[in-house]
Structure 1
Amino acid sequence: MRTFTGLSAFPLTPTTESQIDEHSFVGLVTRIAAAGADSVGALGSTGSYAYLTAEERNRVARLAVEAAGSTPVIVGIGALRARDVCRHAEAAQAAGASAVLLAPMSYQPLTSEEVYGLYETITKELSVPLCVYDNPGTTHFAFTDDLHARIAQLPNIASIKIPGVPAARAEAAERVDALRARIPATVTIGISNDPTAATGLNAGCDLWYSVLAGVLPAPCVALTRAAQAGDAATAAELSDRFEPLWSIFRSHGSLRTVSAIAEDLGLVSTPNLPAPVSGLPPEVREAVSTALRSLRDLI
């Protein structure tokens, strides 16, 4: 399935305190589709879904599907209550989403049984595939492979978005193989930690769920295609070119970094993040600009 292989690019949802910047959002999605990404991931963490109203999320989902054209769109449906997750799933399907993405959001810490119950409830009602979003840095819930194996047996589970792999390729392959041995062959494994994406793809991940591709889709497509062709060296070399950005990702987070990249490239206006989240300080923005200048031949 194209939706869950290759490169899935996750754009920002540019917003002010009063409204979504629809023009800029459509521009980001159009840019991703034109670059040849395999899917668009709307309303992921980079899309600030947790900060948006149900009406705003519905509008963003529809805009993404319209702007993406023939490129499949995966829509995030996470919420604190299972009731609301179901409503977001219904809206995403009505908007024409090819698939949905679900992280176990929580205020009260969730148990493994509660998380399993959430996916069990949602998958009963779905008519499109679902990606399990394993994002402990944001949700503070850590999936085990036992839990992944149980959830992967549910209907409509099509992919698992893992948070990263070890830096060494052999160790990364061991991690990917260990999970793959526990899940059905129909469920793909995607890497979502951008600095380790090349390693993950070279170690056998089926796709890259990419934050950077939301603003720099062309070089991310090139990296992904190299890995898919078995050219591990080129994939690793392209990732190494991004190291100045990866360093900022590690220090300041991917959301603020891609916001600054989008601003530097003139793709969005300022502000574009939901308060109280704010952008990078001036000295780090300058580092982003310097990094982008070093990548001009790629972008």
Structure 2
Amino acid sequence: MTAWLRGLSAFPLTPLRDGGVDQAALEGIVDLLAEAAVDSIGVLGSTGAYTYLTREQRRRVVEIAARRSGDLPVLAGIGHCATDEVLALAEDAQRAGADAVLLAPVTYHGLTDDEVVGLYEDVARELSVPLVVYDNPSTTHVHLSLEAYARITALPQVAAVKIPPVPADPAEARERVAAVRAVVPERVRIGVSGDGVGATGLLAGCDLWFSALAGALPGPLLAISRAARAGRAQEALEHSARLQGLWDLFAECGGSVRVVAEVSRQLGLVREPVLPRPLRPLAHAQQERVAQVLAALER
């Protein structure tokens, strides 16, 4: 049931237009990803700006992606502060055709391990599709312990864990992945996030890479993923180094969403405005840096 949870999962932004989802732009992005043959599509992740969207907009995104993706599996984010809302979003995603759901413990108040585990228990018992745990402390400010990993992944509905970025040092990355693997069941896949260390995470033993940039630029990211998964470490790292200018911008901007929006704009995948307010586009100098990276990839 979860054999597709491997390789490269591409997470596009959510294109908006006139207060709603830009259907034509989203269809075009999904078509691009399907043609590139990424391993799965992840909508409504951090780059998909799910916390800024209404329930109806989120349902519409999943509906469009699932209809357009063909045989390509679709993973849908369902994060929300309130458990009742998470359950409603999970139901919407399943009805709209999602093959799995992705849940981060979104919160305003700090959560204890028991509260986080309880959230996943409440959601898991209502699901008919696999659940991917999204550990993203840089945005949720919830830090999942290894004990919490063990308790959450014991739930039979949990199919994978999306872990935070691994250290850039290969030895430290292997140690981090091994620590997670030691506490989760063998059936549970481990996926790395953080595009700049995606190659390192795969080489360290992660099963899949949840990539934001792949949602706009699948070809170069597939080259990294395929080389890393085949054990061609130097090749994977060299491919990743060609995108260093974008990885640097990710760090400067505190995440991927603005950078991926600009990449998508420059590639003609979306029309302006792209981001939900109050988010703003990159400054002109940063836009020029994106253009330089894209131009170098064409050479």
TM-score band (shorter)?
over 0.9
Aligned to 1:230: 231
Q: Give the C-alpha shift of residue 109 in structure 1.
A: 1.5
1:17 shift after superposition: 5.6
Amino acid at match of 1:66: R
Output aligned runs, 1:1-299, within 5 Å. Answer: 1-16=2-17, 18-252=19-253, 253-297=255-299
Q: What letter is aligned with 1:24?
A: A
After superposition, the C-alpha distances for 1:182-234 in whole angstroms (9 at most, x for unaligned) are 11000011011100100000110000000010000011111111111111111
Calculate the TM-score normalised by the size of structure 1. Answer: 0.97
> 1:85-123 CA deviation, whole Å, 9 max, x = no partner?
111111111111110000011111211111110000000
> Structure 2: which 5+ residue stretches go unaligned?
none
Identical positions, percent: 50
1:61-87: CA deviations, max 9, x gaps?
Answer: 010001111100000011111001111
Cα separation, 2, equivalents of 1:18 and 1:171: 45
Partner of 1:3, secondary structure, is coil
How far the C-alpha of 1:2 sits from its partner, in A, is 3.7
Name the CA distance, whole Å, in 1 between partners of 2:63 and 2:54: 14
Distance 1:165 1:59 in 2: 33
State how far apart, in whole Å, the 2-side matches of 1:167 and 1:228 are.
17
Secondary structure at the counterpart of residue 125 of structure 1: coil
Residue 295 of structure 1 aligns to which amino acid in structure 2? L
Structure 1: distance between partners of 2:21 and 2:128: 28
Q: Secondary structure of the residue that 1:159 maps to in structure 2?
A: strand
> Secondary structure, in 3 states, of the residue corresponding to 1:166?
coil
Q: Deviations over 1:36-75 (max 9, x none)?
A: 1000001111111111111111111010001111100000
Residue 21 of structure 1, CA deviation: 1.1
* 2:191 alignment partner, SS class: strand
Secondary structure of residue in 2 paired with 1:74: strand
Offset of residue 30 of structure 1: 1.1
Aligned-partner residue type, residue 47 of structure 1:
G
May I ask how many residue pairs the two structures share in their alignment?
297
Are 2:44 and 2:50, in contact at CA under 8 Å, matched by a contact in 1? yes
Q: Secondary structure of the equivalent of 2:156?
A: coil
RMSD: 1.0
* 1:155 Cα offset (Å): 2.0
Q: Whole-Å Cα distance in 1 between the matches of residues 81 and 247 of structure 2?
A: 30
User: Does the 8 Å CA contact 2:21/2:60 hold for their aligned counterparts?
Assistant: no
Q: Distance in 2 between matches of 1:261 and 1:160?
A: 27
Unaligned runs of 5+ in 1: none
One-letter amino acid of the structure 2 residue matched with residue 59 of structure 1: R
Which digits, 9 at most, give the CA deviation of each residue in 1:159-180, with x for residues without a partner?
Answer: 0001111111111111101110
- State whether residues 124 and 155 of structure 1, in contact with CA within 8 Å, keep that contact through their aligned partners in structure 2: no
Letter of the 1:25 counterpart: L
CA–CA distance in structure 2, aligned partners of residues 47 and 17 of structure 1: 17
Q: Aligned equivalents of 2:181 and 2:71: distance in 1? A: 30
